Amino acid sequence: MSQGARYSSTTSITLADGVRIERLTPPSRLFGANGLRTGADNRIYVAQVAGSTISAIDITTGDIETISAKGGDIVAPDDIAFDPDGNIIATEYLDARVSVRGKDGRSRVLRDDLPGANGITVHQGRLFVNECRPGGRLMELPLDGSAPKVLQDNLIMPNAMEVGPDGLLYYPVMGTNDIWRIDPDGGEPERVVGDLGVPDSVKFDPQGFIVSTQVHTGEVLRINPRTGERALLAQLNSGLDNCTFVGDRLFVSNFCGEITEILAGGQTRALLEGGLLWPLDLAVTPEGVLYVADGTFFYVLRAGKLHTVASLFSPNTPGYIRGFTVVGPGEFVGTTSSGQVTFFQPGADAEPQVVAEGFDQLYGLVATANRTVVTAELGTGRVLSIRASGEVEVLASGLSAPMGVAFGPDGSVLVSESGGGRVVSIGGGGVDTVVDGLESPQGILLRGNELIILDVGLKALIGVDLETKVRRTLAANLPVGAPDGVVAKPLNASPPFSGPMGPFAGLAAGPDGTVYLSADAEGSVMALTIGA
């Protein structure tokens, strides 16, 4: 792939005889896009929470360079700034840290006791950070790592901020839907403007006006800091995260990885097209319509394009969906990263129905005709049966990181034990090994009498005949899991948005036998046609 990509491999995908593969969506170039900051080299530096990556984009050529890679010292960077020496300072939102990455590539932790550390800015050599959480603090952090000076506390989710031309520090507060300012040396905060579209960034244009992205409404606003008067610069999709100027050119980010330049007259230009953060699980309706769970977003694939049908910012949202399946026309049941099992109808007026909650990292699931759900609880190593009434039964325990779930031809429950390198069967006789010798199996499904297994460790799609036990590799060198040599570090919870954000490369089968695959390493969805 030209101009840089989030995933690359020196080996091509290899297929068994009779197997064909097609990418239904293009690979993503970023792991989403969060904080933006313009460097001294006039490149845009992009923080990517989901991929634990910082990249730099050349706005002329579109070339992308990885500055801090997945598996490195910096985990889940949400916002970034530069100190006077050109070193990158990053807030690590999920790890309560602020770290400094030197121009020599070495990193050091400045603080590790700032839960929800997010918004960050440097002004005249002084570093300011806030915590995007209920009860969050706004503070100055000495660069020597000594105790912070708290300017304000008990904020409800402040976010990306900047010092204005008047020398005051301006910051949005998402939970109260307004923008505030305060003297960096302390004093009483002052509300600048309210009743916005959930502002999550504040920057200043060359004329000294506030520019702010609105995560809920997708608006990009220009606001007079003296009067609060606002003007709409552009209307984009929800999920906007941050903005930055390169000279007088304005660029904004979206959680999906899209970087958009805002032009005059409300016009826009895509510097970087958006894509999938993962993806996670997949499901197909009886009519052959494919749905994709991507954490923050829930998509349907139509005419070769992804269309958002639900997100963390839409009404009646189920939240961060990880595993899911179809249970009726327009209705799904899913597991959320917050530990819930939820029935939901995206786009409808009905509120999601939470039938059970309080679980530790739910992943794949299947549902019976009477709406009983069987799901894998990775955090406890259990497999659970949950009735629509909420009654929970433990089918198995003591498994090592169970993830994918399917029903076997005899009605038994099949589960991929990603930590144990096997697929097991759970029935009246207990837990039995069905397939071993795997590395890290995740998504599984039954196609006729053949069990299809997506092993992200082997980077292979494997078929096993459950009668003859004959095993075949259907596809190898797939763009799934972590890149070779990379050990991805856990992405912790980010309440109230999400629980732990672990990956899950799911599988689904269409009514015509097509197998759909989550290529989570490169951020695409693939379709495989498998011959006899």
Q: Quick one: 403 and 256 in the same domain?
A: no
Integer Cα distance of 212 and 233 in angstroms: 10
Rounded CA-CA distance 146/114 in Å is: 13
Average pLDDT by consecutive 10-residue portion of the chain (532 residues)?
70 94 96 97 97 96 94 96 96 96 94 96 97 97 93 97 98 97 96 97 97 97 97 96 97 96 96 95 96 95 92 87 95 95 89 95 96 97 96 97 96 96 92 96 96 97 96 97 86 84 95 96 96 72
pLDDT recorded at residue 282: 98
First to last CA, the chain: 32
The pLDDT value recorded for residue 3 is 62
State whether 432 and 326 are in the same domain: yes
Q: What share of the chain is helix, strand, coil (3-state, %, to 5)?
A: 0, 50, 50
Given 213, 242, 272, the domain boundary residue is 272
Best CA proximity match to 385, nearest among 367, 401, 369: 367
213 belongs to a structural domain = yes
Task: Note whether residue 286 is domain-resident.
Answer: yes
| Residue 434 CB-density burial (10 A; 0-12 exposed, 13-18 middle, 19+ buried) | buried
Residue 14 placed within a domain? no
Q: Are residues 227 and 297 in the same domain?
A: no
> Which residue, among 303, 306, 304, has the nearest Cα to 292 in the 3D structure?
306
pLDDT at res. 487: 86
Q: Are 107 and 76 in contact (CB under 8 A)?
A: no
Residues 156 and 202 in one domain: yes
Same domain flag for 217 and 295: no
Domain membership of residue 127 (yes or no) is yes
Both 328 and 473 in one domain: the answer is yes
d(CA 414, CA 408): 6
> Per the domain annotation, does 7 fall within a domain?
no
The CATH number given to whatever domain includes residue 61 is: 2.130.10.10
Domain boundaries, position 466: 282-484+518-530
DSSP string, 246-299: ETTEEEEEETTS-EEEE-GGG-EEEEE----S----EEE-TT--EEEEEBTEEE
Within-domain flag for 496: no
Domain edge (last residue) among 249, 272, 295 = 272
Query: Helix (H, G, I), strand (E, B), or coil: what is residue 113?
Result: coil
CA-based nearest residue to 47, from 74, 84, 87, 86? 74
Q: Are residues 383 and 456 located together in one domain of the fold?
A: yes
Model pLDDT, residue 274 = 93
Q: Please tell me whether residues 216 and 339 are part of one structural domain.
A: no
Contact 421, 259 (CB under 8 A): no
Look at residues 233, 253, 272 and tell me which one is the last residue of a structural domain. 272
Pull the structure tokens for residue 117. Answer: 């550390």
Domain match, 307 and 216 both: no
Check whether residue 386 and residue 473 sit in a common domain.
yes
Q: What is the CATH number of the domain that holds 297?
A: 2.120.10.30
pLDDT of residue 177: 97
**Would you state the torsion angle of the CA atoms of residues 260, 523, 500, 395, taken in this order, to the nearest 10 degrees?**
150
Structural domains in the chain (count)? 2
Residue 456 lies in a domain: yes
Q: Longest Cα pair distance anywhere in the chain, in angstroms? A: 76
What residue has token string 């999938």?
Answer: 276
Look at residue 532 in the predicted model and tell me its pLDDT. Answer: 62
Same domain, 213 and 320: no
Closest alpha carbon to 402 in 361, 430, 432, 437: 361
Q: Residue 1: its pLDDT value, please?
A: 34
* In a domain? residue 68: yes
Question: Is 290 found in the same domain as 201?
Answer: no
Q: How far apart are CA 93 and CA 32, in angstroms?
A: 15
Reference 148, options 130, 169, 161, 171; nearest CA is 130
Copy the structure tokens of residue 45.
Answer: 């530096």
